[in-house]
Chain A
Amino acid sequence: MRKYVSQFIIRIIFVFILGTPLSLFAQVGSFQLYTADDILTEIYPEVPGPHEEVKLHLKSYVFNLNNYYIAWYLNGNKVKEGYGERNFSFTTGKSGEVTRVQANIEIAGKVYKKEYRFSPAVVDLLWEAQDAYAPPFYRGKTLPLYQGKVKVVAVPETQIIEPKDSSNLVYYWKRNGKNVIGASGFGKRSYTFETDPLVYNEIIIVRTNDRRENSFAENKIGIHVKDFSPKILFYRMDKSGRILTNRALNRFRMISGDSVHLSFHPLNMSTVKPNFVDLFVSWFINGEEREPQDFARQDELAITTGGEQGEVEIKVKLEGIQKILQTTEETVRLLFQSKE
């Protein structure tokens, strides 16, 4: 008798323990085996820019979405609905304008919500040849050569953020397909590197993320280093030492009189030290190599023909001391006319 009572009590306890969650389940409803995370979304493009068409496509490995009622909302307004409406497209607004998209999927009396927020942003990629030489007050852009130093700068448009906030974005840099970990992070707006002589076209990608706004932007540029070359420009210098950059002697080679004071200017070459001491400099006059007239100003040359008319050939050859791949030479033939 006692044995049967004990067994009975144990069974009651067992049922109680087992039954409680079941009863709870019964009170709540069906057991949540599936969630909205079981419905996946394909978004194209993944990082849309402003005024760009975005396509969303719902898919699931759990549900056959073709059988269920789907309603799409754009900024709170229902814009599309129907059975199996798995696709939706819209166009983003201008940079910084937020677009909210929501998909409600009804499955067995339950509504699964998928919410999306798009805040397209623009980020430009500007680059400059950091160590490239330019003549005085040169208005043009300098171009990097092999072994030259290039700085790429991400310039996010500040429609939605204050200028000081641009350093609060996260920047992810990639060069030629590889992540550049050291250059990436909060506020890392620029990335500097030395061009690779084995790479014709440096591909740089940046992705920015403003977490406060869930705003992404991405951009990619190619720097065609192969197409860039150095150029030695020769300019006359007047008595006061002013460099006359309005007329390059490369083109305007007539000299009235019998003397000229000139200087060379190696456009685009990587030279940052005064007096071009980071270059090997060789002067040739009428084919004959000469040492610089003044080692303190080895870019300058003053010549005179002693009153004679005629042509003088001047050549300059430059080689990088550290940047051994950077070499160039240029010849000008100056025509001296007699004084009238």
Chain B
Amino acid sequence: MDSSNTKKKRKIIFIVIGIVLVLILLFFLLKGKHVPFLNKVMGTLPKGEHVQAPKERGETERQETGKVEKQREKEQRKPEPRLRRITDFPTGGFVGFQYVHPELVKDIVINAQGEKQELTREIQVEEDIVRYSDIARGNVFRAVLNPYDLKRELLVENFIPNVEYAFFSPDGKHVAFQYWNKPERTAETYLGKIYKKQPNVQPCPYTFKNVEIGDEGEHVIDLHKFLNEDPRTRVSLSGVNSPGNEGNVVVPETITAIKNFQAVYGLTVDGKIGGDTEKKMKEICDARQLEKAKEELAKEKTQYDMEGQFLPKGIVAIALSPDSKQLFTLEKVKDGSVGLVTNFDDGTKKTAFKSPFSEWIAQWNSDRNIQITTKASYITDSYTYGLDPTTGRYHKTLPQEHGLTTLASPDNKKVFIHTVSDGKTKDYIFFKDEDKKIVLTDVHTFPEKCAWTSDSATLYCFVPNNLEKDGEYPDRWYQGLELFSDQLWKIDGNTTQEELVSDIPTEYGKNLDAWKVGIDPKSHYLYFIDKGSETLWSYRLYDAEGE
């Protein structure tokens, strides 16, 4: 009796030890295992939001609507410097924006029973994107930016040489390229629309109809080929009717394969190609054609293409509307200049402006205002007007001044002005409603080196650390007789308080002369082209984790 009890006790002990060992084993297996899918979303959320690792076994991950909050990774990544070079080739133009798209993520969850479960869900991912083009050929590229990474890809391959200027619409879907026609001394302009390529889906090559054993014909070969495309419905593994050796005679294996097809897709298994089976076969065939087309597309060099047209020669100014729906072009004609507004949706054109004068610069800053300013020289007056593209009426914004250049704010209430007064550079913010000017004390720069945030609250400016010949601007700069080394400043749009953001030469050891400055709608990044090297750069405005 005693020995049987002892044996029983031993058994229990061994079982308990065994369970404990299994638990320990499981514990070590799962310890430290990171969930690979986390890397997909890590760092793609702006403002340094980090994704949290799922909770340990026994807990499921919590999710807030539209966002994923995860724990910091044990190894913290260090963000890259705020100032980054995006291209190493001459760049004609760019546009920065946010791109929100759905993405599927898989959560690996361990439940209370210690079982792994894979849950797939869709989240909205916002990425900072910049589209830009090279001068050499007008190729369009895309870069995805985050503080830790910079991914570039070719979006559209083009063959337009020497595209000096590329004016992108704010949504990046339209672009106007300009290159110089030297013999005719005029600008040539090409207006393009960028679109995502669609798979070139071929129709299903097979016809389906009911067959009996012994039937012959091309339709039988088709049927065999179709069935052999799926291992689950293969007619034969080898020999006649195997993949690549499809015969034209219906054999018993053919009927079996039909039955297998019916079973896989939940149809009545009768070996006959009736209404439902035929319909399903066509459906599956079409789906396979679509997949093939997608695979072919994925193999192509670019996933986007461009279609467009050449515009008339002699376009002296181009501006795109803030809503990305319209294009304003000012064309030099025999008697002066004509301003046309083209609607992208329906292609209609409307004359918005006519003048015997042709030396204009245009900036479409708000829906109902295009700021048109005469070209400037320090030695003579320039004029600036606000043109309403809907009515064609224009009003003088402020009195003319020597060397006047302008940058109007998106809300059309403020204008950043550069002028020359008494032989010296003078910059100020002009408040339209109050009709008042506030002179800036530290910032002496040019509107081409500045960008307003989309809410018009802040003006970011790259400011030359030295103007060699004060008072002779912007001429010297436009003529390429001087290149600057800039600091980055910001000016409060309401108080005009000036603040140094970065002394770039000192902090980064770079001498950059910024021009063609832009900013994305959420003010995550400033983008600019360095005039000296003609390369594209970005400056991150928000703080990243780990900074």
Contacts and interface: CB of A to CB of B under 8 A. Distances in A.
Interface stretch (A23-31, A106-114, A131-139, A208-216): A131-139
A128 B358 contact: yes
A251 B479 CA distance: 10
B462 to A, nearest CB: 15
Given A140-B377, A240-B136, A248 B185 contact: no
Interface in B159-212: 161-162, 164-165, 178, 180, 182-185, 187
Contacts of A267: 479
B375 interface: yes
A247 interface: yes
B394 A163 contact: yes
Interface string B451-489: 000000000000000000000001100111111000000
Interface string A137-167: 1111111000000010101011100111000
Contacts of A227: 379
Given A243-B182, A274-B183, A126 B475 contact: no
Q: How many A residues touch the partner, as a band? A: 35 or more
B478 A139 contact: yes
B81 interface: no
B371 to A, nearest CB: 15
Given A137-B178, A140-B475, A248-B479, A242 B162 contact: yes
Interface stretch (B45-53, B104-112, B349-357): B349-357
Contacts of B478: 138-140
Interface string A228-270: 1001010100001111011110111000000000000001000
A337 interface: no
Nearest to B382: A141
Given A242-B162, A248-B481, A153 B356 contact: yes
A122 B377 CA distance: 23
Interface centre among A135, A140, A241 (most CB of B within 10 A): A140
B534 A246 contact: yes
A247 B385 CA distance: 31
Contact of A126 (B374, B448, B474): B374
A137 B474 contact: no
Given A141-B359, A240-B162, A247 B336 contact: no
A163 B392 contact: yes
A153 B355 contact: yes
Contacts of A252: 480, 483
Contact of B180 (A126, A136, A155): A136
A309 interface: no
B443 interface: no
Interface in B352-383: 353-359, 361, 374-377, 379-380, 382-383
A1 B31 CA distance: 159
A267 B377 CA distance: 13
Contacts of A240: 136, 161-162
B532 interface: yes
B230 to A, nearest CB: 53
B136 to A, nearest CB: 7
Interface centre among A124, A233, A246 (most CB of B within 10 A): A246
Contacts of B375: 139-142
B7 interface: no
Contacts of B182: 136, 241, 243
A250 B182 CA distance: 21
A190 interface: yes
B393 A163 contact: yes
B400 interface: yes
A252 B481 CA distance: 8
A275 B184 CA distance: 9
A315 interface: no
A22 to B, nearest CB: 61
A282 to B, nearest CB: 21
B325 interface: no
Contacts of B395: 157-159
A155 B372 CA distance: 13
B379 A143 contact: yes
A104 to B, nearest CB: 36
Given A124-B396, A140-B375, A240-B136, A247 B358 contact: no
Given A245-B480, A251-B482, A274 B184 contact: yes
Interface in B389-417: 392-396, 400
B162 A153 contact: no
B341 interface: no
A21 to B, nearest CB: 58
A189 interface: yes
A122 B396 contact: yes
B517 interface: no
A330 B165 CA distance: 29
Contact of B336 (A153, A157, A241, A246): A153
Contacts of A151: 356-357
Interface string B477-503: 011111100000000000000000000
B135 interface: yes
A34 to B, nearest CB: 45
B540 interface: no
A137 B359 contact: no
B531 interface: yes
A158 B394 contact: yes
B277 to A, nearest CB: 61
A250 B482 CA distance: 10
Contact of A141 (B162, B165, B183, B380): B380
A233 B475 CA distance: 12
A240 B380 CA distance: 36
A247 B165 contact: no
A157 B479 contact: no
Contacts of B356: 151, 153, 189-190
Contact of B479 (A124, A140, A190): A140
Nearest to A300: B182
Nearest to A267: B479
Nearest to A245: B480
A227 B483 CA distance: 26
B400 A251 contact: no
Nearest to A124: B383
Nearest to B179: A242
Contacts of B361: 139
A145 B135 CA distance: 34
A159 B391 CA distance: 12
A242 B382 CA distance: 30
Interface in A172-197: 189-190
23 contacts: A126-B357, A126-B374, A126-B383, A136-B182, A137-B165, A137-B187, A140-B376, A141-B376, A141-B377, A142-B359, A143-B380, A157-B394, A158-B394, A158-B395, A159-B393, A163-B393, A189-B356, A233-B479, A233-B481, A235-B480, A242-B161, A242-B180, A247-B532
Given A126-B357, A140-B375, A228-B379, 11 more contacts: A136-B180, A136-B187, A139-B361, A153-B356, A155-B383, A157-B394, A163-B354, A227-B379, A247-B532, A252-B480, A275-B183
What 3 A-B pairs have minimum CB-CB distances, sorted nearest first?
Answer: A190-B356, A248-B480, A141-B377
